[in-house]
Each structure stands twice: as structure tokens, then as C-alpha cells.
Amino acid sequence: MHFWTIGVFLACFALVTWIGLRASRWQSGDLRELHEWGLGGRRFGRWITWFLIGGDLYTAYTFIAVPALVFGAGALGFFALPYTVLVYPLVFAILPRLWAVAHRHGFVTAADFVAGRYDSPLLAFAVAATGFIATMPYIALQLVGIQVVIAALGLSTGPGWLGEIPLLVAFAVLAVFTYLSGLRAPAMIAVVKDVLVYITIFALIVVLPMKLGGFAAIFAKVPVDHLLLPAAHGGQLGLQSFYVTLALGSAMALMFYPHATTAVLSARGTEVLRWNWVFLPAYSLVLGLVALLGFMAQAADLPKLPDLAPYFQSFGPQFAMPGLLLHFFPQWFAGLGLAAVAIGALVPASIMSIAAANLFTRNLYKAYLRPQCSPHEETQMAKWMSLVVKFGALLFILFLPLQFAIQLQLMGGILILQTLPAIAGGLYTRWFDPRALLVGWLVGMGWGIWALSLTGFQKSVYTLHLGNWSIPAYVGIYALLLNLGLAVLVTLGLRLAGRAHRRDATKMPDYLG
């Protein structure tokens, strides 16, 4: 236990707690209204939106998992770079249209849009349920990030639930400021989080090469099979096709996560979003530097260091970045860096719980259980549900093996991709029939989960055999192609049979913001 490290960490944590509690007084607005509590009144400008979306998409688990994947699997971990490059042209084409139609009709969630576009409560429920389920392990993984930080600080008090007291305290803080301040809290805290992250990453990328003898010495110590993907041979495409499809599938999935759409719908206007798509790729530069930390941890041979070996035995490659902070930097800076990771977990966890609560309240509670509920009752239910979601994620961490929790995260992108035809397709055309989309969603979800189960939920790769060729690819891409194919075929069949469903609550001008 290093007291300077803990002192700096606690000071940063206290600062963001105070900001989160004070956020309820920021900007005018009645927090008893769902669009005020859950979307910040749709008034966030360019810079707040930039920090909010960046803090939402580049999470604490990103800064732990990307170095961990590079440390453990080598070059495959760099899929995160093309993935975050590809995502911006896609969101530029899709999300401003979603903001425009949502603003015009008062939609709070993507499922609200689906309900209005297709006049299909069942399809909207399927989209909402998918988003809700896929968000749960994502929130849990933010708590995993906090768990790793707490272990690095030496604050874990032993085995059993007593050892999780610091995690329970962090959970309580997150629950309180989310309940009181809604989306305003993570929006304000995201500014502090990003400043700390940028300081930490640039310090790591400058100091560590000097201490390790330069980049040439670092790469010389990395095993050759970690520097490049295995070459294709004998009809086996190897990891190249998996790398490409994983990057593409992850990019397409990212924009449809509930927390991503929540952050987008909180913006003041489409011009704010277009400005952000131009400058948000700055985060991709940082992500490339973060990925290199995995090679630096390998070059330093951290798992063999006596003071770090116990941590690697407990957390494996996930301790690569915290290990570098603890070993190579003074205590006070290690506290600053670990605070950046912990705060980087609080921001997205808060947004994710709000997004999941919005989905439950709008597309289940109000749609099916209490259609006549007042706006204040609707918001109160969302607040309570945000606590329930975080509590479920906490139980997930406390009672399931850590490795199992991480494996379940592989399902997130596969599940979310199955909502792409309904949401992205609906933003540009009303050609698809909602019944066809529902059939495609059901089959895509079922096949994706089945294919993932074949690997014991340990890998997200599925190998398709075509003659002499074996094509390994991301499960989500295969499931999405099956989903889309069925949606097209069933829609054609319904149209030819004269049973097309054409009702639509929106008009084309609604999509032009």
C-alpha cells in the first residue's frame, strides 16, 4: 500500500464526486422530466458533447483491455485502431439523422424511433430488450476496471465480500450522483476524466521508451509471432479475415449501443454532432498509443517482477497498464493515472445505466405496464431502474468469476449488430417490413449466440468452410448477414403477397436536421 498513491487517487475521486453531485444545478431544467434527466435537456454544445461521447466510447475498460489484448495476443489487439477509424464515417451518415427525427418527435431512445417508424411495438420491444441486455455486461466491465485499480492501490481488504468494500463505496458514489443529476453528472465529469487520461497516456508513451531503451529495444523484446498476424496458407485465411471483420463489426455495433445513442441525442443540434465527428478521431490517436503499452509491458517482463507477480496471477494481462504505472512512476503520478482509469469507468457506467433505464422506462414500463403514467412518474421509474441496473452489474462482478464476465462481453457486439437493420435501415428507407425485421432479428440473435456457444463463450470467431477454403470471421458479421438476408427475403415475400405493412409516424423532412 502506497499512501501517496492512495492520497492523490482519493483527492481526484473526491473532486469528481463533488462535481457529480453539483451537476444537478447545472443548466436550467426540471430533472423530473425524462428528457432533462436522461438526455440533459438536449442542450449540450460542441465541447461538452465531445468530452461526453469520448468519455462514453473510450472507457476505462478500453484503457485496460487494449494493452491487455496486445500483451496477451499481440498484433490482433490493434484491431481497435481501424475499428475506431471506420466508425466515424458511419456515424456521420447515420446519427445526425437519428438526432433530427428524435428531436422532431420527442424520441428518447432508438427503440422509440423504431416504434414510430414501423408502427410496431413488438419490434421496438425487441430493439429495447437487446440494448438493455447487451449493456449489462458492459457496465459490469467498467466495475472490473475499478476492481483492478483498487487492487493496484492495495485497498482490497481480503477475500470474500469484505474485500470488495472499496468497490461497494465506488458503486454507491456512482449510484448517488447518477440518481440525483442524471446525464449532467457524467457530462461534467467527462471533462476531468479526459484531461487525466491524456496526461497519463502521453506521460507513459514518453517516459517508458526512455526507461526501456527506446522503441527499437522494446520491439526487439516482443516475440515475433506477436508483432504480425499469422500468414494465410493452404486455403486457411488465418486471423486476417477475423481481424478485418472484427474491426468492421465492432465499428458498426458501436453506434447502436444505447449509451452511444443517449450521448448523441443529448447534443444541441446536428451541427454539434457533425463538428464532433471531425474532431473525435483525436481519441483514436490516443488509442494507438495505449495499444503500444501492451508491448512495453512485455518488454519490461512485468509478470516476473516480484512486486507485480501476485497481481498478474489474479488479473492476468489486464494488469499490464496499472503495472507499468506502479513500477516506473513515482507514487503521486501512479495515483493520478489510476484515478484516470477509475474515473474513466464511472463516466461510461453512469451513461450506460441511464441509457438502460431510459430503454426500460420508455419501451417496457410506459409501453406495456403503465401507458398513462405521468412524466414525473416516468422519470422516477427511470431513476430507480438506473440503480437496479448498476446493482445487477455489481452482483455480476461479486458472484461470477472475473474471466467469465469478460467472456460474456463478447456477446455485446453480436447482439447489438442485430438491431442495425431496423435502426440504420429505418433512417434511410421504409422499404423493410417490421415483421421481416423481427424474423431477421430473431434468427440473427439465435444463430449468433449458438455460434458463440460452440467456443464456450471464450472467442468471438467462427470459421466458415467453403470448399477448400476456411474463413474465420467475427460471429457478429455472419449473424448480421443472415439477419439482413432474411429481412430482405421476407419483405419481398410480404410485398408480393400484397400484405406489406406501410404505417409510419415520421415523414422524410423529419430526418433533415
Assessment of whether the complete model's pTM goes beyond 0.85: yes
Neighbours of 162 (CB within 10 A): 10
Alpha-helix runs per DSSP H in 400-468:
402-417, 420-428, 434-453
- Three-state secondary structure of 372-401: CCCHHHHHHHHHHHHHHHHHHHHHHHHHCC
What type of residue is 386? S
Domain residue ranges of the chain, discontinuous segments joined by +: 3-229+242-405
Q: C-alpha grid cell for residue 82?
A: 481501424
Alpha-helix runs per DSSP H in 223-374:
224-227, 239-254, 258-265, 270-279, 282-300, 309-315, 320-328, 331-360
pLDDT tens-place values along the chain, 513 residues long: 678 888 998 898 889 889 888 887 777 777 888 888 888 888 888 888 888 888 777 777 678 888 888 898 888 888 888 888 888 888 888 888 999 999 999 899 999 999 999 999 999 999 999 999 888 878 877 877 888 888 888 776 454 555 567 777 777 888 888 888 888 888 888 888 888 888 998 999 999 999 999 999 999 998 888 888 776 555 455 677 888 888 899 888 888 889 888 888 889 888 888 888 888 888 888 888 888 999 999 999 999 888 888 888 877 888 889 999 998 999 999 999 999 888 888 888 888 889 999 999 989 888 888 888 888 898 999 989 988 888 877 776 666 655 544 556 667 889 999 999 999 999 999 999 999 999 999 999 999 989 888 876 667 887 877 777 778 888 999 999 999 999 999 999 999 999 988 899 999 899 886
Q: Residue 57's pLDDT is what?
A: 73
Separation in Å, CA 489 to CA 81, 259, 432, 496: 35, 32, 10, 11
Q: Residue 278's pLDDT is what?
A: 82
In the block, which residue shows the cell 501492451?
294
Does the CA dihedral 476-480-482-483 come out positive or negative?
A: positive
Q: Can you name the residues that pair with 44 across neighbouring β-strands?
A: 267
Neighbours of 72 (CB within 10 A): 17
Q: Residue 143's pLDDT is what?
A: 78
State the fold for domain 3-229+242-405. Sodium/glucose cotransporter (1.20.1730)
Of the candidates 355, 342, 300, 142, the one whose C-alpha atom is nearest the C-alpha of residue 308 is 300
The 10s digit of each residue's pLDDT in 410-435 is 678 899 999 999 999 999 999 999 99
Give burial (CB, 10 Å; 0-12/13-18/19+) of 156: middle
Whole-angstrom Cα Rg for the chain: 23
Q: Residue 400's pLDDT is what?
A: 60
Of the candidates 476, 474, 491, 479, the one whose C-alpha atom is nearest the C-alpha of residue 438 is 491
User: Which uninterrupted H or E stretch holds 92?
Assistant: helix 80-105
Q: Can you name the residues that pair with 191 across neighbouring β-strands?
A: none
With beta carbons less than 8 A apart as the criterion, state whether 127 and 423 touch. Answer: yes
Distance (Å, rounded) from C-alpha 114 to C-alpha 423?
6
Q: Residue 401's pLDDT is what?
A: 57
Separation in Å, CA 398 to CA 140, 320, 391: 10, 22, 10
Neighbours of 168 (CB within 10 A): 13
Q: Which residues does 79 contact at the CB level (< 8 Å), separation at least 6? A: 243, 246, 247, 250
